Amino acid sequence: MADKKLPIENVSDTALWVAFYRAMESERPDALFRDPFARALAGAKGEAIVNAMPHGRSLAWPMIVRTRVMDEIIAAAIEREGARTVLNLAAGLDVRPFRMDLPPALRWIDADLPGILDYKRAVLGDAKAKCAYEAVAVDLREADRRRELLARAAAAGPVVVLSEGLLIYLEPEQVRELALDLHRETANRAWLTDLASPLMIERVAKRWNQKLTQARAPFRFAPAEGTGFFLPLGWREADFRSIWTESLRLKRTVSMAWLWKFLGMFMPAARRQAYQRMSGVVLLERA
């Protein structure tokens, strides 16, 4: 059987992939979240991407878990930090300001390339956000434009920064520059992101990374030191939610999870810890 060509033309297309996973979850009777826009946003191309990925549907659970856990942490961080602004970097097709119960006075800024923001706005039509919403077209690779955006967001601080599904596609030096820029703006109180480990990249590479590389969207950032990567850059770990552990809590996990859980009881502690931190959602705070 011929190998399916992955219909991803650039990194922005991965947002269609993730949107289809949100649609899959939203259509369950016991959904962990409801995204009424996900299927329209994913479109036929989002479904095609999932169908072309090896085990594309059965491996939806990590991204579904990531979405739900980030929802929980965002809500808590807004309350705890007294945030007036959420800055969503590389926002893609995220529609949290349209689907979450957010304070009406909260300012939410989606930042991404103009093409994907225009597409999202066209699909959303006249849908109303639950808070004060704005979309800013910017290429985050351009340092001057990135810093202008951060200064603009900081003007109405305190700020919670969100970078879901972004860092893994960056080179370590790009992540380093972003972390330093975020730290320079003292209004940035917390930074919520997802983080992969080399072990996760090793596991994913067997299934997906060849296709993603061919599609010019390979996974890159997975620091061996984990959240320690960010400490010299002014950020320390405030909370780490293991995708594996949260998948068990939320009952969205890999098939035969009970067996992996059982086998984990016999692993050396260091190995078990490595698996638990293979991928996670991280809340960073100013160090």
Mean pLDDT of 79-97: 94
Given the structure tokens 């950020």, which residue do they identify? 235
Query: How many structural domains does the chain have?
Result: 1
Give percent of the chain with pLDDT exceeding 90.
73
Is 6 a domain residue? no
Q: Of 75, 82, 66, which is closest to residue 97 (Cα–Cα)?
A: 75
The pLDDT value given to residue 2: 41
What is the per-residue pLDDT across 157-198, written as a single tens digit (0 to 9) for each? 899 999 999 999 999 999 999 999 999 999 999 999 999 999
What is the per-residue pLDDT across 14-65, written as a single tens digit (0 to 9) for each? 899 999 999 999 999 999 999 999 999 999 999 999 998 877 788 899 999 9
> Is residue 199 within 8 Å of residue 219, measured between CB atoms?
no
Is 217 a domain residue? yes
Q: What is the CATH number of the domain that holds 21?
A: 3.40.50.150
The pLDDT value given to residue 268: 77
Is 3 a domain residue? no
> Is residue 275 within 8 Å of residue 243, measured between CB atoms?
no
Is 73 a domain residue? yes
Is 204 a domain residue? yes
Tell me what the pLDDT averaged over the chain comes to: 90
* Crossing angle of the two packed helices 38-52 and 114-124, in degrees rounded to 10: 120
What is the per-residue pLDDT across 104-146, written as a single tens digit (0 to 9) for each? 999 999 999 999 999 999 999 999 999 999 999 999 999 999 9
Is 2 a domain residue? no
Domain range for 251 is 11-286
Is 5 a domain residue? no
